[in-house]
Structures are given as structure tokens and as C-alpha cells.
Structure 1
């Protein structure tokens, strides 16, 4: 059940070797280079070294599906095949960038593959596929509840030969990064349209466009997630050419819905890996520490916490794989019930698992000496990113009621 294809298994085996040889041994060095950088959002030399090794090994752009096989050398992977690969990357939170599989770039590349014209793909998609530049997706705004995408207020006005943008965005992942060069910006172009889902447009805004201001980096539970980061932005009379529109005026909501399905699943895949590593660390810790005359592993409460965590991880992994199989079979739109169930349950479940594992580690679990505190932060903000738990549960509840009561 959910067996990877031979091609996917070969890539996963290669990736495991790569982690053993290049990722795990470099965790301390990565932290050292990040913490000693004069600019926390600058390129980390180690990252470029590892990316070159990953490219040479053929471990590059592994997120690409067969639908977009023309954009990669290996023909693409199904969602089921990619899930264990992304899970492995989730064990070290900075590692997806090594393989050009990090958010938000994967989602932005998918948008450009799906909706970009030939010129946009040549100018922006190809450098992203090559890992030469980074990108951001600017949707969330501080003044409105952005979980309802139709609330977005940044104005995108058609002035014939150019678009004029005015407004504010925040928690824009990747915006602070030194290599980020392009923003996909969603705003309201037709606020009076009777259809709330035709009021939005998405346009491409180069980072150095006059009027685009990076106000500040933002933190989540104290983490700035450097060198990628999350930023607050101001758009003040920002002008971009009319041809920078994606898909067409009034098609922004449609693009947003298309983009978020795979991205939600990628986060959940990686979170399984983060939870699995935390569980393994907790098991080791339980055998190494002694309290009240016996190892932690002999205490009933610790065994129960380990057992619950194991069972919940297995349930979460199976839900992710079932959802992936459904997406491979009928597409994201027809799998929205399972995507919503996964997105609203897996981050919370993994957050709880990591919390237990931190507790088993005592005070050390709260420090950077272990990977768990940062992974807990990742799980926690994933419960807000790409739609908060409550929105997914509300939509899913409506679907299920209609299915069984209609």
C-alpha cells in the first residue's frame, strides 16, 4: 500500500545517503554561519556548496509532478512518491532549499508553470528552477482577516499600459532573503464586481520596483526563520507593466486556490519528518537519563507519551499518503475534503508530538541544542499558513454535512 515507484525509491535512497553524508554532519556549521552572518538574510556559503552537490547528484526540483515533466530531468514524481522524500527533508528544516524544494518557491514555480506565459517563464521561472533566484508570494494583509482571500484590500488598478499597486502586506515568506527578486502579488482590481471571486488579480512585481518597501522582518514565537524570513511590505504607487499580469485580470482568486492545494500537503509531508525525528530523539533521551533510580524509559508516563506519539505519527502519515493518492487520481480540487482534513489535523498533531518530546528532554528541549523548539514553531505557524485550522474545518464540516445529510 502506497509503495513508491522504483524511480522514487531510488531517489529516496540517494537522498538518505546525501543526508547522512552532507546534511546531518553540517547542522552545526549551518547554525554557525547563520548566527555569525552580518546579514541574517544573506546567502549562507554552506547552502550554495550543498546545492551544488545536490544538483550534481540529480537531487534537484524533486517536487515537480509528471504534469510538469518538461521542466525537470527525471520525469516528475507523483504526490505519493514525493511524500516520503519531503518527509525526509522535514527532519532538517533548512534542508529543502538544498534541493530547490523549499516554500514559497515551489508554489510560485507551480504558479508560473501553470499560468505564466512564455516570456514570464523564461524571465522568472527558469532562474527559479535553476536555483539562481528566490521568490515571494504576497497575499496576507495585517488589516483584514486574510483567511478569507476575498477580503484582500491591496489595490491593483489597470492604467492601460501599467498596473498601479497600493497597500500593505505582511508575513510574506522569503521577502527578506537577499536572493529574492520577484513577488507574486494578489490584490483587488475590481472591488465592485458582483462576484467576490472575480475581484482579485495577481501580478508579478520585481523586488527593486520603486515604491516597494520592506518595512521589517517578522518573527513567529521569536524565530525570524532567517535566511528566508517573513516580512511586512508597503506598496506605495508601485507601477509594473500591464503584461506582468498572471492568467488575466480578475483571475487572482482562481490562481490562489490552485496554488494552495499542493503547498498545504508539502508542509504536512515535512511536518511528519519533523515529528518523526523528535520522536527518535525522545526515545534516545529516555534511555540516557535517569530519574528516581531508573531510566526515563522505565517510567510508565514516558512510555505512554512515546506510544501515543508513535500511533499519532502513523495516523498522520497515512492520512497524508491517502490524500496524496487521491490528488494523484482526481486532482487537488476533487480532493479538497481530504486536503482540508490533513491541513487542519496534521500540524496540530505534530505540534503536540513535538511538545511531548521537548518535555522528555527537560529544559534542553527548549534550546537550540536540539531541533525540536524550531520544529514546534514550524508546526505552530503552519496552523495559520495557507488557511487557519478553523477555516478548513468550517469548509470540511459543510462538505461532510451536505454529503451525508443531503
Structure 2
């Protein structure tokens, strides 16, 4: 809606004061904003002053009745993107625009003569209506830029985490020092619950889930955590090698809306991170193969199983003992659960939702098919457990590959219980 002639004349009488008003804004008007005084002088005297002049001249041009142009908000958007990149808080940026609007209103009020009250009210309405578009453009651009910067930073950190886990740390240790990863590190392996349905596997849903998981990790450890995670899990690096609390898996499960397996190993230096990552991943695999429910698993919890699952020339023969059970997943599940429940048939039946007699029948069938695994004897139980673990694992890479174990001084250490 165009201004009346009286309102237009009042506005344009202030046009000669644009430069002085812009200087006043960047000085006394904005000077009371917390943190403004600490900004660099060239930012205040050049960039912010130029933005203020642009805003004032834009108001004058609109007051003349000239239609808005496509690039009217371009400078506001450009400055908002710069401020976001420089880390200037959004509230400070928006306060400058709000106070600038108020300073212009004060100037209009000072310029108004008796009898121009109606024109002044009209200009107040005109000024506030125009300010909405400016604030919207500034906030939108700032938040878009921050989101892009955060995504870039997140990707850089994830790339760094994967590089450290793969054994290719950056040549410049400055980055590691800034992140606190130049010394001891707790390396976490995580296995996440499968997403439920197509909606949960959509990229947006996966990113939301991983953000919640990242937040839960950082709250649990009270520090920044460098994570290389995807929809199924991955690894996370915690500077300072803190001991994970027993409730960690429950906190992560709440963030992921499902049970989470996690394990931790300590690396004394960046060179030990790959071995620590493999150790933690192996502990999770063994805990799963042994039928343990999702939780925070430690090497001490699966010490025997870990030892039994190491590969040597006898490993293929032991793993092959369970080959007759191929295609019978119910028998494998029964065997796994029976071992986990310490061979308590009633506990096994309850865990699987079966009648105890059904469990007995399945165990009998396992003994018949395998022709050698007698679960009634310590030797047979040990063979069954070892065969399960070896079937669920892959051979350890030979020495000299990218995954060869580091020297003893750089090997991961098991995380002790508190």
C-alpha cells in the first residue's frame, strides 16, 4: 500500500541524515548490545555501517513509491552469511537490525512537526511491515549457512575418525591436538538396531537418529566425541580415554529407540586406535555370537570366548563341526541360547518362548546331526562354543597388512570395570 503524500514528505526529509544516522547506529546505538564492543573495528566501521546505510536508503526508496527489486535483500543475505561463517551469534545480528529500525523510527519522530502525527503513525506501520522481510532474509540465510558449516564440519570430523580408525592419521598433529586426540583415547564400537520400516531408513530419519546418538555420547562422556557412524553403527573416539559408565548402552538405546550393543578399548596414542577399534568390534561380535543381550560389553566379559575365537590351523575344522546345522537356524539359535543360559533348559525355553520338551528335542537333534558335540560334557560344550564363535568371524588379516597389530606399546588396553 503506497504512502500518503504527507508521510512521503516526512520520510524524505530524513534522507539527508542517512550517513550520519548510519554512523550513529554503528556507534552509540549498537554499542549497548552485549559483545558488540569486542567486534573488529573494520567490521563495525565498514561492513556494518555499509549495511545500515543500505537499509536506510532502501527505506527511502520504498517511501518514494518505487517497487521492490529482486536484489533488495542481497546485501543483508551476504552479510548474514559472513557473520555465520565468522561465528557471530544470531541474536547479536538480529539485535542490530531491530535497533537500527528503532533508531530510524526515532529520527522520523524527531523530524515530525506538529500536525504530522497521522503521517508518523503511517510511517511506523510502513516501517514495521518492511522490517519483517529483512529479518526473515537475515535469519534464513544465517541459519542456512550455519547448517552448511555444521554439515561440513561434521563430515570433516567423520572423515578424520575413519582415517584414524583405518590407521592413516593426518600428517599435521595440530588437528589431533585441537580435538584432544593426540594422547590416550577410548575407542567405542557400536552396533545399532535395524531401522523399522521404509520411513526409518530414509536419509533424513537416519541423520536424525545419528544426531541423537552423537548428542547422547557427548552427554555421557561430557566432552566432544569424534564419530564415524552410519545407519548400522561404527566407531567413536573419546579423548582422554574415560571409562564408559555401565548405563551407557541404556542411554544410547533411548536415543536410537532400540537396543544398542557397544564395546570399548583404550588406545594410548593415535597409532593404537586401529587395533583398539578392531578389539572393540570383536568384543561386540563375540558377545552377539555368544547369545548375550545388547549392552555395554567389555573384553573381561567375554575373555574365554575371545580366546576361543582366535584363528589358527585348527579353526576351519572346528567351525565345520556345525556345518550339519546349515539351513536349520532354529537349531543354531537354540544352541546359542542354551550356552548363554548356562545350559539351563527351562531358562532356554523361556528365552525362546518354547516348551522345555521342545528344547530337549532340539538339543538331541543337534547332537545327532553334529556327531561329536556332546553338550553334556565340558569338552563338547567348549567345542560348541568355539565353533559358534569361529563361524561368526572372519580370519584375522596377516601381519604386514593395513590391519596388522601395532607394537605392544601401542596395542589397545581393555577397559576395566569401575
Same fold (TM over 0.5): no
Q: TM-score, normalised by structure 2?
A: 0.22
| Structure ID, larger Rg | 2
Q: Which has the higher strand share?
A: 1
Q: Which has the higher helix share?
A: 2
